[in-house]
Amino acid sequence: MREKLIEKILMLLAFSAIGALLLMAIFIFKEGLPIIIKVGIKDFLFSTHWAPTKDYFGIFSMIVSSLFVTTGALIIGVPLALACAITLAEFAPPRLMSILKPTIELLAGIPSVVYGFLGVVLLVPLIRDYLGGPGLSLLAASIILAIMILPTITSISIDAIQAVPYSYKEGSLALGATHWQTIRMVILKAARSGIITAVMLGMARAIGETMAVIMVAGNALKLPISPLDPVRTLTSNIALEMGYAAGDHRAALFATGIVLFVFIMIFNVSANIITKRWRRE
């Protein structure tokens, strides 16, 4: 009957997300796998020589750059975000909170290209003048990414901290602990899973960010030695060269996409497993 038909249609719609995911995986693999086979996976992943015009396709320096940029962003961003979250969730009066929390969430909506632009106009000259190097650097990318992921990590951490039952806090204070001791030993432990989720979301955003990084990272094909070196991440590489790549070169960019895709899938799956284990505790 009509109801059965509606149910079937809705089921098809529900599978659209999976369908899109599979389609994407198939296409990217189809375009990129041949070149990985041709070059050999060891050479592709671990050679630092990327010169598409001469048929050299090694993405190692870019893998390293991506890792460093993301790690840098987390090192800078996570402590700051947590400090903010703790201050707002525990120390700020409710009225201030009701203004500041939405403000932070709104700031999560600033487009990445705007962040990149401001990075170029304001941050890069600062680095160049006071720290040396060309300014367009690993450091600049990490700082910009840190600022970009701050609102996300902060607001989700605030939610996690506020979700801790009030009785935990009451109990600790009743035992004579100071507010800060309570935060450190009771609240943060209880909010751990939520905070970790927040950090993971921030990390996912940092890994996938392209536009801002292109604008401030310098895009040089070297293995970074100091934070002041210009770098090129995996995502930047794809974005920069896709416009004019052809043949094997294009395939190599898809292959880079495969690497990213696989990495994200692994990341997602492990994040899933970890959050499930936390929840069981």
Partner 1 sequence: MATRINPVLLQRIVKAQLWSLTGFIIGILLFIICFISIKGLPQLTPEFLTSNPVDMGRSGGIFSTILCTLYLIFVSLMIAVPLGVGAAIYLTEYTRESRVTYIIRFGTECLAGIPSIILGLFGFAFFVMALRFGWSILSGGMTMSIMLLPTIIRTSEESIKAVPYELREVSFSLGVTRWQTVTRVVLPSALPGIVTGIVLGVARCIEETAVVIFTVGSSLRLPGSFFDSGRTMAVHFYILAREGISMPNAYGTAAILILSILFINLVAYYLMRRFLKKYAIVL
Site for partner 1 in 237-276 (CB under 8 A): 238-239, 242, 253-254, 257, 260-261, 264-265, 267-268, 272
CB of 127 to partner 1, least distance (A): 16
Burial of 222 (C-beta count, 10 Å sphere; 0-12/13-18/19+): middle
Count Cβ atoms below 10 Å from residue 224 Cβ, excluding itself.
22
Task: For the segment 39-78, give every residue that binds partner 1 (CB under 8 A).
Answer: none
Which of residues 43 and 241 has its CB atom nearest to partner 1 in the complex? 241
Using the CB atoms, write b or e for 1-35: b if 16+ within 10 Å: eeeeeeeeeeeeeeeeeeeeeeeeeeebbebbeeb
CB of 225 to partner 1, least distance (A): 26
Contact segment (CB under 8 A) with partner 1 among 44-52, 86-94, 132-140, 189-197 equals 86-94
With binding defined as CB under 8 A, does residue 198 bind partner 1? no
Site string for partner 1, 89-108 (x = CB under 8 A): --x--------x-xxxxxx-
CB of 52 to partner 1, least distance (A): 16
As a three-state string, the secondary structure of 124-160 is HHHHHHHCCCCCCCHHHHHHHHHHHHHHHHHHHHHHH
CB 191 within 8 Å of CB 162: no
Task: For the segment 104-133, give every residue that binds partner 1 (CB under 8 A).
Answer: 104-107, 109-118, 120, 122
Residue of the chain from 49, 51, 87, 278 that contacts partner 1 (CB under 8 A): 87
Residue of the chain from 46, 126, 180, 189 that contacts partner 1 (CB under 8 A): 180
Residue of the chain from 61, 137, 157, 210 that contacts partner 1 (CB under 8 A): 210
Count Cβ atoms below 10 Å from residue 190 Cβ, excluding itself.
17
User: What is the Cα–Cα distance from 92 to 84, expressed in whole angstroms?
Assistant: 10
